[in-house]
């Protein structure tokens, strides 16, 4: 009786639906999130910048990422990072990569100060705990304060992100031998990831690809 009462008081509300739960999210939202998962997360791995992506940016997954970033529910990022890592290890295309450094796409310092954290870093940290990859949050820096991308056309996006990243030269020499995997929450057109890759490759860093939680899928009529 006492145990049941204690478990009742220890329950919190699910950040996605307000139901009571003892976990990060309730079983109902857990099921809806899992329904967003791609059957083939490596379906975009053959592109110019290989992409490994956990699920479709829609519905409950879209809500979860928004709750992570804007409502500051960092536990959601931890959970998504774990799922990304487990999916990576279970995929025959990617599970052969062993010695990899994971680099989260950095935020501009002002934006990170306002938000209080970098969601890509939270995802990357938990991804690394599952995959045993090393985490590197210092090599790549964001030095240009960019505009939000959603209202920009392709040319404006490219101009907006150009020279936004900088590689810390004092760390390059000791890290050139190991391939890196970029980590982010959402991959849309790839403008940001490709610019980060360009700057890393310019300094002789080998970029394996990018792993992201979500990607929008556009259906043509």
User: What does the pLDDT look like over 154-170, one tens digit per residue?
Assistant: 788 888 789 999 998 87
Q: What per-residue confidence (pLDDT) applies to 155?
A: 83
Q: What's the token pair of residue 62?
A: 């879209």
Model confidence over 118-151: pLDDT tens digits?
999 999 999 999 999 999 999 999 999 887 777 7
Compute the mean pLDDT over every residue in the chain, rounded to the nearest whole number: 90
B/e letters for 156-185, b = 16+ CB within 10 Å, e = fewer, are: ebeebbeebbebeeeeeeebeeeebbbbbb
Report pTM.
Answer: 0.91
On whether the CB atoms of residues 162 and 143 are closer than 8 A, the answer is: no
Assigned CATH for 25-39+48-215: 3.40.50.2020
Residues of the chain with pLDDT under 70: 1-11, 171-176, 219-221
Q: What's the token pair of residue 148?
A: 């939000």
CA nearest to 104, candidates 175, 184, 171: 184
Q: What per-residue confidence (pLDDT) applies to 153?
A: 76
């Amino acid at each position: 009786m006492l145990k049941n009462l204690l478990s009742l008081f220890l329950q919190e509300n699910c950040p996605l639906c307000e139901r009571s739960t003892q976990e990060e999210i309730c079983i109902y939202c857990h099921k809806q999130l899992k329904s967003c998962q791609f059957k083939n997360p490596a379906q975009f791995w053959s592109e110019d910048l290989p992409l490994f992506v956990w699920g479709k940016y829609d519905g409950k997954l879209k809500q979860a990422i928004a709750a992570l970033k804007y409502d500051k529910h960092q536990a959601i990022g931890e959970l998504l990072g774990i799922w990304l890592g487990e999916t990576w290890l279970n995929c025959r295309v990617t599970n052969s990569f062993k010695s990899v450094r994971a680099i989260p796409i950095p935020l501009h310092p002002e934006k990170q100060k306002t938000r209080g954290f970098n969601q890509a870093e939270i995802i990357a940290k938990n991804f690394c705990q599952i995959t045993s990859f090393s985490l590197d949050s210092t090599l790549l820096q964001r030095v240009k304060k960019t505009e939000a991308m959603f209202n920009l056309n392709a040319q404006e996006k490219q101009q907006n992100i150009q020279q936004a990243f900088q590689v810390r030269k004092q760390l390059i020499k000791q890290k050139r031998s190991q391939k890196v995997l970029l980590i982010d929450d959402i991959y849309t057109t790839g403008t940001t990831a490709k610019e980060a890759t360009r700057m890393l490759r310019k300094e002789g860093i080998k970029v394996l690809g990018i792993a992201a939680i979500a990607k929008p899928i556009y259906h043509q009529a």
